[in-house]
Chain A
């Protein structure tokens, strides 16, 4: 996590920054899922299980008063423990005794939607930053004798 901004009035930047970092992590997880959509061998044994990223809201050390707004961070990356699809491929080297191969539970459509959602979230966070920047610019114009 990057250090909080020295000026409390710039908290918007901290919050948006945490959002950007979280969305970038989500994109990493989506990319891992897409890349391993057909992986049958993993270090922990068995086929690849789709990973899910978990976000949590938290208050950083700069949040001194009670009604401070939370930032977001990644609470962990958990495997999706739903049932794996079994395909009958008797000749496959990884087939079990009955000739079935368990395939990873990665649905490319789902991952693509997640990818687009992550991109839109990232852009929305950037928009927060841009809006805040405009506000500060406008405020600095107040009372300018030009």
Chain B
């Protein structure tokens, strides 16, 4: 996409005729600006720490269930193959979600550390 095409298109028309960047930001970003400015309401009472704790518990529970099922299958008890695989899938997904959350938290922390005072 060349600059000519951009200038010729809607963006170009806005910038040239409609009063410059102010008009553009009002139309395209006005809503977002309003929301960001006015928005920060109080949280509903569930802290992030609670959420994280629950995630860890869920992942742990799923992992334990999966281990039990694998053991049962190995011992020859009546456990369906698909039940075992389902338990393993759940444990895997729960753990990967937890891992991803943990990575984001660390990234955010490092971003804050990098801030110049």
Dominant SS among interface residues on chain A: helix
A81 within 8 A of B: no
A105 within 8 A of B: no
For the complex of A and B, 7 pairs with smallest distance between CB atoms: A6-B58, A20-B82, A6-B61, A140-B100, A17-B86, A2-B83, A7-B58
Chain B proximity of A125: nearest CB distance (Å): 9
A136 within 8 A of B: yes
Contact B107 A13 (CB under 8 A): no
B residues within 8 A CB of A97?
A: none
A21 within 8 A of B: yes
Interface size on B (CB < 8 Å)? 20
A residues within 8 A CB of B87?
A: 2
A24 within 8 A of B: yes
Q: Could you tell me which residues of chain B, from 84 to 102, have a CB within 8 Å of some CB in chain A?
A: 86-87, 89-90, 93-94, 96-97, 100
Name which of B69, B89, B90 has the most chain A CB atoms within 10 A of its CB: B89
Contact B65 A3 (CB under 8 A): yes
Interface, chain B (partner A; CB < 8 A) = 57-58, 61-62, 65, 69, 80, 82-83, 86-87, 89-90, 93-94, 96-97, 100, 104, 107
Candidates A13, A24, A140; contact of B97 at CB < 8 Å = A140
A residues within 8 A CB of B62?
A: 5-7
Contact B94 A17 (CB under 8 A): no
27 A-B residue pairs with Cβ-Cβ distance under 8 Å, sorted by A, are: A2-B69, A2-B83, A3-B65, A5-B62, A5-B90, A6-B57, A6-B58, A6-B61, A6-B62, A7-B62, A10-B90, A13-B89, A13-B90, A17-B83, A20-B86, A21-B80, A21-B83, A24-B82, A129-B86, A129-B89, A133-B89, A133-B93, A136-B96, A136-B97, A137-B96, A140-B97, A144-B100
Q: How far is the CA of A28 from the CA of B107 in the complex (A)?
A: 52
A residues within 8 A CB of B107?
A: 145
A143 within 8 A of B: yes
Interface, chain A (partner B; CB < 8 A) = 2-3, 5-7, 10, 13, 16-17, 20-21, 24, 129, 133, 136-137, 140, 143-145
Closest partner residue, chain A, to B92 (CB atom): A133
B residues within 8 A CB of A7?
A: 58, 62, 90, 94
Closest partner residue, chain A, to B86 (CB atom): A17
Chain A proximity of B83: nearest CB distance (Å): 5
A13-B86 contact in complex given A6-B58, A133-B93, A136-B93, C-beta closer than 8 Å: yes
